[in-house]
Chains A and B, each alone.
Chain A
Amino acid sequence: MGEVILTMKGIDKSFPGVHALDHVDLEVCRGEVHALMGENGAGKSTLMKVLTGIYTKDSGTITYEGREVEFHNPREAQAAGIVIVHQELNMMNHLTVAQNIFIGREFMKGKLIDDARMNAEAKKLFTQLGIDINPAEKMGNLTVGKQQMCEIAKAISHEAKVIIFDEPSAALTEAEIDELFKIIRDLREKQLGIVYISHRMDEIKVITDRVTVMRDGGYVGTLITEQCTKDDIINMMVGRVIYEEPKTKSMVPPDAPVVLKVEHLNAGKMVQDVSFELHKGEILGFSGLMGAGRTETARALFGADPKESGDIYVNGKKVDIKSPEDAVKHGIGYLSEDRKRYGIVVGKTVAENSTMANLRDFVKGLFIDKKKENKITNDYIDRLKTKTPSVDQLVINLSGGNQQKVVLAKWLVKNCDILIFDEPTRGIDVGAKSEIYHLMNELAAAGKSIIMISSEMTEILRMSDRIVVMCEGRKTAEIDIAEATQENIMHAATLR
Chain B
Amino acid sequence: MQTSKNGNAFTNNPIVKAIGLQRIVVVLAVILEAIFFSAMSASFRQYATVVSILDYSYYITFMAIGVTFCLISGGNDLSVGAGMICYALAGGYLVQQVGWPVWAGMLVTIVMGLCFGVLNGTMVAIMNLPPFIATLCTMLITRGLGSILTGGMAVSWPSRKGVGGWFRSIFKIIGTGNGIPKGTIIPIGFALVLLSIIVMTVVLNKTKVGRYIIAIGSNKEAARLSGVNVVKYQMMAYIISGFFAGLAGIAYAATFSSSVAPGTGPGLELDAIGAAIIGGTSMTGGQGSVIGTLLGVFVMSLLKTGLPYIGLQANWQQIITALVLIGAIYIDVLKNKKTA
Which of A92-100, A247-255, A297-305 interfaces with chain B? A92-100
Residues of A within 8 A of B5 (CB): 141
A326 to B2 CA separation, bound complex (whole angstroms): 37
The answer to whether B228 and A138 have CB atoms under 8 Å apart is: no
- How far, in whole Å, are A75 and B225 apart by their CA atoms in the complex? 7
Q: Which of A100-115 contact B (CB under 8 A)?
A: 103-106, 108, 111-113, 115
Q: Does A14 contact B (CB under 8 A)?
A: no
A220 at the interface (CB under 8 A from B): no
A90 at the interface (CB under 8 A from B): yes
- Does A10 sit within 8 A of B, measured CB to CB? no
Residues of B within 8 A of A93 (CB): 218-219, 286
Residue B339 interfacial (CB < 8 Å)? yes
Judged by a CB distance under 8 angstroms, whether A91 is at the interface is yes
The docked-state distance in angstroms from the alpha carbon of A111 to that of B203 is 10
B206 close to A (CB within 8 Å): yes
Measured CA separation A93–B222 after assembly (Å):
10
Whether a CB of chain A sits under 8 angstroms from the CB of B97 is no
Q: A90 near B218 (CB under 8 angstroms)?
A: no
Chain A residues lying within 8 Å of B287, measured Cβ to Cβ, are 94
Tell me, in angstroms, the Cα distance from A90 to B218 when the chains sit together. 10
Contact of B227 with A105 in the complex, beta carbons under 8 Å? yes
Instruction: Determine whether the beta carbon of B206 is less than 8 Å from that of A113.
Output: yes
B282 CB → nearest A CB, Å = 9
What separation, in Å, do the CA atoms of A74 and B5 have in the docked complex? 35
Partner of B218 from A74, A92, A108 at Cβ < 8 Å: A92
Q: Mark A122-140, 1 if CB is under 8 A from B, else 0.
A: 0000000000000000101
B226 in the interface (beta carbon within 8 A): yes
B2 touches A106 (CB 8 A): no
The reply to whether B202 and A113 form a contact with Cβ atoms under 8 Å apart is no
Q: A106-B208, A112-B202, A113-B206 are in contact. Are A92 and B223 (CB under 8 A)?
A: yes
CA distance A113 to B202 in the complex (A): 10
How far is the CB of B321 from the nearest CB of chain A, in Å?
28
Contact B211 A99 (CB under 8 A): yes
* Max chain A Cβ within 10 angstroms of own Cβ: one of B218, B228, B286, B287: B218
Contact residue among A74, A90, A91, A113 (Cβ-Cβ distance under 8 Å from B211): A113
> Is the interface on chain B under 10, 10 to 19, 20 to 34, or 35 or more residues?
20 to 34
| A91 and B228 contacting across the interface, CB-CB below 8 Å | no
Q: Which residues 66-108 of A sit at the B interface, judged by CB distance below 8 A?
A: 74-75, 90-95, 99, 103-106, 108
- Tell me, yes or no, whether B257 is within 8 Å of chain A by CB: no
List residues of chain B with CB within 8 A of the CB of A90: 219, 221-222, 225-226
Within 8 Å CB of B217, what residues of A?
Answer: 94
**A91 contacts B2, CB within 8 Å?**
no
B307 to chain A, nearest CB (A): 35
B136 at the interface (CB under 8 A from A): no
Interface string of B272-302 (1 = CB under 8 A from A): 0000000000000011000000000000000
A104 touching B2 in the complex, CB below 8 Å, given contacts A90-B221, A92-B214, A94-B214:
no
Contacts of A111 in B (CB 8 A): 207
Contact B286 A92 (CB under 8 A): yes
Is B215 interfacial (CB-CB < 8 Å)? yes
Q: How far is the CA of A138 from the CA of B3 in the complex (A)?
A: 11
CA distance in complex: A111, B207 (Å): 7
- Please give, as numbers and ranges, the residues of chain B lying within 8 Å of A91 by CB-CB distance: 219, 222
What 1/0 flags go to B96-117 for Cβ under 8 Å of A?
A: 0000000000000000000000
The reply to whether A75 and B227 form a contact with Cβ atoms under 8 Å apart is yes
- A138:B225 contact, CB within 8 angstroms: no
A95 B226 Cβ-Cβ under 8 A: no
The smallest C-beta distance from B79 to any residue of chain A, in angstroms, reads 25
Q: Which residues of A contact B202 (CB under 8 A)?
A: 112
> Interface centre among A74, A92, A108, by most B CB within 10 Å?
A92
What's the least CB distance linking B211 to chain A, in Å? 6
A363-401 interface bits toward B, Cβ cutoff 8 Å, 1 = contact, 0 = none: 000000000000000000000000000000000000000
Within 8 A of A (CB), among B227-253: 227-228
CA distance A113 to B207 in the complex (A): 5
| B115–chain A nearest beta-carbon distance, Å | 25
Q: Which of A133-162 contact B (CB under 8 A)?
A: 138, 140-141
Neighbouring A residues of B227 by C-beta, 8 Å: 75, 103-105
Shortest distance between the CB of A361 and any CB in chain B (Å): 36
Q: How far is the CB of B336 from chain A (nearest CB, A)?
A: 11
In the assembled complex, the CB of A87 is this many whole angstroms from the nearest CB of chain B, namely: 14
Min Cβ gap A143→B in Å is: 11
Across the two chains, which residue of chain B brings its CB closest to A73?
B225
Q: Which residue of B lies closest to A105 (CB)?
A: B227
How far, in Å, is A148 (CB) from chain B's closest CB?
Answer: 14
Given known A92-B286, A113-B206, contact A103–B218 (CB-CB < 8 A): no
Smallest CB-CB separation from A86: which chain B residue?
B225
**Residues of B170-228 contacting chain A, CB below 8 A:** 202, 206-208, 211, 214-215, 217-219, 221-223, 225-228
Cα(A111)–Cα(B206), bound, Å? 9
B211 touches A94 (CB 8 A): no
Residue of chain A at shortest CB distance from B284: A94
A138, B2: Cβ atoms under 8 Å? yes
Docked pose: A61 CA to B2 CA in angstroms: 49
Q: Which residues of A contact B214 (CB under 8 A)?
A: 92, 94-95
B211 and A106 form a contact (CB under 8 A):
yes
User: Which chain A residue has the least Cβ–Cβ distance from B286?
Assistant: A94
B207 near A103: Cβ-Cβ < 8 Å: no
Pairwise interchain contact A112-B218, C-beta atoms closer than 8 A = no
Shortest CB-to-CB span from B51 to chain A, Å, is 36
Closest chain A CB from B240 CB (angstroms): 16
CA of A103 to CA of B5, assembled, Å: 26
A314 to B214, CA, bound (A): 50
**Chain B neighbourhood of A75, CB < 8 A:** 225, 227
Pairwise interchain contact B219-A92, C-beta atoms closer than 8 A: yes
Q: Which 8 A-B pairs have the closest CB atoms?
A: A94-B286, A92-B218, A104-B227, A90-B222, A94-B218, A103-B226, A104-B226, A112-B206
| Residue contacts A-B, CB under 8 angstroms, 13 given | A75-B227, A90-B219, A90-B222, A91-B219, A91-B222, A94-B218, A94-B287, A103-B227, A104-B223, A105-B227, A108-B208, A140-B2, A141-B5
**Interface of A with B (CB < 8 Å)?**
74-75, 90-95, 99, 103-106, 108, 111-113, 115, 138, 140-141
Given A92-B219, A141-B5: 10 more A-B contacts, CB < 8 Å:
A75-B227, A90-B222, A91-B219, A92-B218, A92-B222, A92-B223, A92-B286, A94-B217, A103-B228, A113-B206
